[in-house]
Amino acid sequence: MIDIHAHILPGLDDGAKDWQETLDMCAIARNDGIHTIVATPHVKQGIYTPAKDLILSKVAELNTLLTPDTSRLSLHALKVFPGADIAFEADILNQIEKGTAVYLANPMISTNFMNPGRSFRYVLLELSDYFLFPQVKDLIRKLREKNIVPVLSHPERIAMIQRNHKLLHEFIQAGALSQVTALSITGEFGKEIKKLTRTLIKKNLVQVIATDAHSRDLRPPILSRAVLEVADLIGSEKAELMVQGIPQAIIDGKEVDIT
């Protein structure tokens, strides 16, 4: 399985506190059947501001720790790619144009972004609980014009979408993808969020399941339990696509067909 949303890099946000917790989280993920993680620290003005170069260097260091020669955890099959959980802010387009935004991407994949028919870039976008609907929809359209696809993180935990999930439908129609949290599916965020998440999945408003892991204990990187529940809901083929085929397309810069 592939986890495209995990706060495993130490000391950058409210995720892993140190390298030992990072390695423990990687061990949990690998034991759960996750072979690829996209490390996505929060990027939010005035709160968490890890620079792109710092994220890339931490990912490189973690992959070094996970190689067979240096790892004591036998995690040689686990790969980590860079990403970011970017808060919806007015300067997102400016970040992208300056090249400071971190995409959900495999740096080993060579993509030709001059060819709009073949290559895409994906950005993990976190909405605030209360947002201006026209502004978000307009941003999604502007990003898509640049062949950039926003992946909306945990919409089931956003207050306005909890009140009206038709807003999420509008965002997906505009070109966004939707990623729900595994713990929302299994009920750790409460009965109401679990009920809403199941509704979103049944209405085909979810394309990806991710862990949004923040710790070794309270919010670990575990996907398998959620996948089993979704398989019971919509079938194993569609459930597996949310943690395999679609996440792979995202990190490879390929188009995701949600029809």
pLDDT for the residue numbered 73: 52
Within a domain: 259: no
Burial 218-243 (b: 16+ CB within 10 A, else e): ebbbbbeebbebbeeebeeeebbbbb
The domain total for the chain is: 1
d(CA 228, CA 185) in angstroms, rounded, equals 10
CB 251 within 8 A of CB 38: yes
Q: What is the CATH number of the domain that holds 159?
A: 3.20.20.140
CB 129 within 8 A of CB 159: yes
Within a domain: 67: yes
Burial class of residue 184 (count of CB atoms within 10 Å of its CB; 0-12, 13-18, 19+) = buried
Within a domain: 55: yes
pLDDT in tens, the chain (259 residues): 999 999 999 999 999 999 999 999 999 999 999 999 999 999 998 899 999 999 999 999 999 999 865 445 555 579 999 999 999 887 788 888 888 889 998 665 544 444 444 588 999 999 999 999 999 999 999 999 999 999 999 999 999 999 999 999 999 999 999 999 999 999 999 999 999 999 999 999 999 999 999 999 999 999 999 999 999 999 999 999 999 999 999 999 999 988 6
Helix 133-145 / helix 166-174 crossing angle, nearest 10 deg = 20
Predicted TM-score (pTM) of the model is: 0.92
Within a domain: 60: yes
Could you list the residue range(s) of the whole structural domain that residue 121 is in?
A: 2-252
